[in-house]
Structure 1
Amino acid sequence: MKFKWILLTSFTLMSALSFRPIHAGTEPHRIEISAKRFEFSPSEITVKKGEPVELVIQSSDVTHGLQFADLDQKVQINKGTPATLSFTPEKVGDFTGQCFIFCGTGHGQMALTLHVVE
């Protein structure tokens, strides 16, 4: 009987010491972006490393895409339907997002610069 009490007490103590309170997650930094031939507006955004980001992108003319190859992030943006790109940047730097769906002669210049800071 004494052994069971020691075992139960040990288990209870270990459980209490390993308890970690659960904190509500950080709400993502929401940024609204518009896409149209041949630009994203705004064309530059700044976010913090390690903080969740939610880019909500709306196309006003045709289907576009946004790809940050260095961050392994990609989303298709259909006209009239907002697209959401959610991620948490894990490295500091400047990253260029490009439209990856051909949208006309200025397609190559359609870019969005993402600055990730500490």
Structure 2
Amino acid sequence: MKWLWLGVAAAAGLAAGCGAASSGGNTAPPADAVKVNVEASNWKWTIDKTTFKVGQPIDFRVRATEGAHGFSIAGTNINQTVAQGQDPVDVVWKPDKPGTYTIQCDVYCGTGHGSMQTQITVTP
């Protein structure tokens, strides 16, 4: 079991670098970005703001309090892995059209993984 956990932790660490440039994980957020705290825990997202405006950069400050999770926004190139104990990761997104978007976990995190979703709204 120890080796399995080490393998999962190593994979999460490697995956954290994948897509970081497109998600903003390694760049400083713009000064005018709306700051949003996001917490990933077992099978749920806790987010402190869910309505945004088109064209306004959003700085999602993503952290995991339990396990490893993948913060992704369906239909976009946003995809960032976060793991318990890791510092929060800045994921910057500038929505270019209004709509309802689904934040989902894209790293298998257990039996409730399929229901680990929440929605945000982008208004004109």
TM-score band by shorter chain is: 0.7 to 0.9
Could you tell me whether the CA contact under 8 Å between 1:31 and 1:56 is conserved in 2? yes
Is residue 56 from structure 1 mapped to residue 61 from structure 2 by the alignment?
A: yes
Question: 2:85 — aligned with what?
Answer: 80
Q: Scaled by the length of structure 1, what TM-score is found?
A: 0.73
Alignment partners' CA distance in 2, 1:52 and 1:43: 16
Q: Tell me by how many angstroms 1:72 deviates.
A: 1.9
List gaps (5 residues or longer) in structure 1.
1-24
Q: Tell me by how many angstroms 1:48 deviates.
A: 0.7
Q: 1:42 aligns with which of 21, 41, 47?
A: 47
Question: 1:98 — aligned with what?
Answer: 104
Code of the residue aligned with 1:87 in structure 2: it is W
Is residue 114 from structure 1 mapped to residue 120 from structure 2 by the alignment?
A: yes
Q: Scaled by the length of structure 2, what TM-score is found?
A: 0.70
Alignment partners' CA distance in 2, 1:94 and 1:43: 16
Q: Tell me by how many angstroms 1:26 deviates.
A: 5.4
Question: 2:20 — aligned with what?
Answer: none
Over 4 Å off, 4+ runs: none
Question: 2:36 — aligned with what?
Answer: 31
Question: 2:72 — aligned with what?
Answer: 67
Alignment partners' CA distance in 2, 1:34 and 1:100: 15
Count of matched residue pairs: 94
